[in-house]
Every structure is written in C-alpha cells, then in structure tokens.
Amino acid sequence: MRTQKLQPEIFTHSSKNPFRIADIGSELTGLWTQFNEDISEGKTVMRACMSNLIIYCDNTEELERIGQDIALVVDIHPARVLLLMGGGNTGKEKLNARTTIYYQAVSGGWQVCAERIDVISNKESLEYLPSVARSHIIGDLPTTVWWVSRQPPPKIPEVFKELSELANQVIYDNIGWANPFTGISMMTRWVAARQDSLIVYNLAWRRLTVLRRLISQVLDPKVAPHALDALYEIKLQHGPHALPLTWLLIGWLACQLGWTVDTGKRVSASELYWRFRRNNQEIKVSAQRLPEGEPIIYEMMFNWKYQNKDGCACFRRLDDERIAIVEEVSTLPARVFSAQLPQRATMVTSQLARRDRDKFFENALIAANRMTDSF
C-alpha cells in the first residue's frame, strides 16, 4: 500500500500494483482494512460520499492531470470516483485496475472523502468499461459522467452511450477537441435529442461566465444606450484551441439579441467570419486565432453606430486576473474588472452541486450549431 500527501488537507492511500477487474471488491476491502490498521491510529474514521463521479479519458498525460483535479474536487464534493481510461497499457490483460482512498483530518479522527477506482483498458476492450462502471457505482446516489477525452463523446459511442445511461448529468469540455466544427455539431444534436431530465454541461460555458456578465453590464441599454441595438460589428481574438469558446459566446449573443445567421466563411486557416441579421440590420462577426497563447479569448471589440455617431467597447484580457475596457480604442470609460481564470477542478465541483438544466447554455449551443451549418 502507498500513502501520499497531495495537498495540505488531502492524503491518499492506494494499492501498489494493478490487479484484475474481478478483484476490485476484495482489493478495496483490503485497502480499507490496511487504512484502519496503519493510519487511523484507533481514531474515528468517517466516510463521506455525495455522488458517483465517472471520468473517462484516453491518454496518459490527461490521466495524470485528472489525478490532481480529483483531490481538489473531493475535498469539497466527496464522491465514489471511477476513473476510466481507454487505450492504455494493460500488459497481458484486457483491463486492469487500481484503488485509492482519499482522506483528510477532521476533529477527533479522519474523514474519507473518496474511494477511487481506476480502470484501464487497451484499445480493443473499450466496450467493457461501462459495465465495470455500472458494477461499482453506489446505487442510491446521483451519478455524473465527466468526459475528458479530446474526442467528442459521440465519436466513441460504445463507451459514451452506455455511460450516459448511467448518469444524471454529463460534463464535457470541448476546449482542445481535434475538430471543433464536427464536435460542436455532434454534441448539439445529441443534447437536442435529450428531452429527459439528463443535465448536460460544457465547461467552456462556465469559462465564459465572467465575460458574459461583463458584456451584459457594460453594454446594458441603461449604461450604453443603443450599443446593442445599433451594433454592426464584433471582432474577436483568441488563443489556440479556444474556438469553441468563441462559438458559444457568439451563439449566446445571437440567441439573446435575436440574430439569425446568414452565412459563415473560413477567411484563412486562422480566421472565421459570420454575417448575422436582425430585422434589416446586418452584424458582422470575425474571429481570429493568435499564433500562440492560452485557450482563452484575449480581446473582443464591439462597434456600433447611432445617429451618425460611432461607439466602441473593447474588452481585453490583461492577465489571468483582470479584463479591461481599453481606453485608446473605446468610447466608453476605461475600467478594469476582476476576472480570474477558473481552475478546471473548481468548475467541475461547482457543476456537481447543480441539479437543473441550463436553458441559456442549451439555446447558445443550438445557435452555435446553426453557425456551423452556415459554412
């Protein structure tokens, strides 16, 4: 057994070597026994568990990053975690597993905040992962599937379909998808077909929370009269892999302001263009990818004209903590806003606490799909 300290509050106790899937139950029991003998020191051991969290990934780099995220998630939202990896190295076996207990000190003893079961399959055995997950979730608790693969979920139907049937909620993140055009279209159709109570959420949408709030406040008709009514152009600059953010943000604006997309065009390998209409008014939107940087929106410029008077608001990210209205190009007063880039684990934790569908997100996704169809 291995004991490890991940952060000041969280420790882990895990199995040393991978083992067969059939031994998951006995290995987990043995881990608990070892924990009570070696670590609890006779103190009270409490177990906290609010839900099942099933995570799917398909590369080793992401597997290591998820391990860091899990500690942050279960610190706030204790869970039974099933981490499934497709296409891994399993040696002679089709699948193998590991178990880990996450725990922290509380008054008078220890609190176990997660039981984590890792299940790794080779490329030929992906279809077995959902059945393993089904056998080891806790039946009376809500279940969330967190899809971390760089492939859109419908691209791996043998895994995603069955996992989603186990879930009350699906969380995914299309930042970094290999083909955002195809991915957005596939996920939009899948979400639209889910008319039941399943909650579907894109972490890219939560990344846009601060920017959507700033746009709503700064361009509010009471603050900037006619800015939205007389808008004729939006220009965006984003980093590599951030096109889905741009897509969702423009989809949200189109939905909220009643725009319909006329046409879309790939201007170059790094620039896209759309033309929207609202009544007889034309709105042009361009999105340019910067050659380097983080997968975020760096700048967004709104141009409008009312009674022959030009107006402009340019939002620019200054650093990981701040967004500013740029004085030299904006007709609105210069201001700096607190706008911290969220951690992935924080976004997942916040979403695990939600149990309602986000109609604003779903409508923005539908609008984004129409933007895809316009090309």
pLDDT tens-digit profile of 124-144? 888 899 999 999 999 889 999
pTM of this structure: 0.90
Mean pLDDT, residues 262-273 taken together:
90
Domain boundaries, the chain: 2-167, 207-348+356-373
Assigned fold of 207-348+356-373: Dihydrodipicolinate Reductase; domain 2 (3.30.360)
pLDDT surpasses 70 at 10:
yes
- Of residues 178 and 237, more confidence is placed in 237
Mean pLDDT computed over every residue of the chain: 88
Of 338 and 37, which is predicted with more confidence? 338
Amino acid type, 309: K
Give the tens place of pLDDT for each residue, 158-190: 889 899 999 999 999 988 787 777 887 788 778
Instruction: Return all residues near 124 (Cβ < 8 A) that are at least 6 apart.
Output: 94
Range with lowest mean pLDDT among 91-95, 254-258, 347-351, 359-363: 91-95
For the segment 16-28, the average pLDDT, to the nearest whole number, is 87
Helices (H), the chain: 24-38, 60-76, 129-136, 157-166, 180-193, 203-207, 209-218, 243-257, 344-352, 359-373
Average the pLDDT over 99-108 and give the result. Answer: 82
The whole-number pLDDT of residue 8 equals 47
What is the C-alpha to C-alpha distance for residues 291 and 251, in angstroms, rounded to an integer?
Answer: 24
Name, of 26-35, 42-51, 190-199, 315-324, the range with top average pLDDT. Answer: 315-324
Q: What does residue 262 show for φ and ψ, rounded to 5 degrees?
A: -90, -55
In this prediction, residue 183 carries a pLDDT of: 80
Q: For the chain, count helices (H), then strands (E).
A: 10, 18
Res 2: pLDDT? 52
